[in-house]
A and B are shown apart, each in its own frame.
Chain A
Amino acid sequence: MNAFAAALAVLHADPNLSTAAEYQPAAGGAWVPVGIVLSRPQDVVQGFGQARAIAVSASVLAADWPAPARGDKLRRISPAATWRVEGAEPDALGLSWQLSLAVAA
């Protein structure tokens, strides 16, 4: 484990940052436990007319969730919330994914 992987593992193990969650592939199947670091940035949206909206994103370790994809579901255990994965970007080293989440219908 290199220094970056170790640092990420420390962050994701910190209960002040990390939250217990589960994911389910879009095709269905069992929910799989995963730790997530959530963020909810609010910013002005590049749309037509002026708007401000809240985005939800989550960082997950690639070791815990090898291949997240659009359509997968992610649910936080407490407080309960479920999102749909809209996008997944790996970091430069392939150690983690940054997930773009949408409110699940």
Chain B
Amino acid sequence: MSGTIPLREAAMAAITTRLAAQLPAAVVERARRAPVDTDIEALPRLVVMAGDVAADETAEPFRTHYTIGFGVMGYAAAATDLEAEQALSLLHAQVVAALAGWTPTDPGLADVRELGADIALFDADDSARPTGSFAARFTILAVGPTGGPFSS
């Protein structure tokens, strides 16, 4: 069986749309390869990056359960180190609140699970502006007919 929208693409699109809707103050991007220029580009900013896919054909007859990993990188800055730390914590918490436990309505997509995050302020030697970033890790479950990893 084949369709037009792969489950992985449907998942990332749904996640990006969800983040943009839930965090209107942040810029949300997908699949970015270039580094974020934190002195020039608008912050706070989120970058959604799709990750690996694990397939399980044993969970359900004739259907494959895909666990799709993805990361949300967040960037925030403020006037002071403390305020930057607080802005980073807030942005991370907002991302988790928007995604963890959420189930998209798209066909074939199921729950999002939170795995964890790495969070840190940039060293003063690297950035004159108090800025930091995090990499939050999640998975989303997607289910399709075996041999047909499409949402529609």
Contacts and interface: CB of A to CB of B under 8 A. Distances in A.
A56 interface: yes
Nearest to B126: A45
Given A102-B130, A105-B80, A55 B35 contact: no
Contacts of A47: 120, 122, 126, 132-133
Given A45-B127, A48-B119, A54 B134 contact: no
Contacts of B80: 105
Given A49-B36, A50-B35, A87 B74 contact: no
A44 B35 contact: yes
A101 B128 contact: yes
Given A50-B36, A51-B133, A83 B124 contact: no
Contacts of A100: 124-125
Contacts of B128: 40, 53-56, 83, 101-103
Interface residues of B, number: 33
B123 interface: yes
Size band of the interface chain A makes with B: 20 to 34
B35 A52 contact: yes
A43 B132 CA distance: 15
Contacts of A48: 73, 117-120, 133-135
A83 B73 CA distance: 28
A72 interface: no
B134 A53 contact: no
A1 B39 CA distance: 41
Contacts of B131: 51, 53
23 contacts: A42-B39, A45-B35, A45-B38, A45-B127, A45-B133, A46-B123, A46-B126, A48-B73, A48-B117, A48-B118, A48-B119, A48-B120, A49-B36, A49-B47, A49-B135, A50-B35, A50-B36, A52-B37, A52-B38, A53-B39, A55-B128, A86-B124, A101-B128
Interface of A: 40, 42-57, 83, 86-87, 100-103, 105
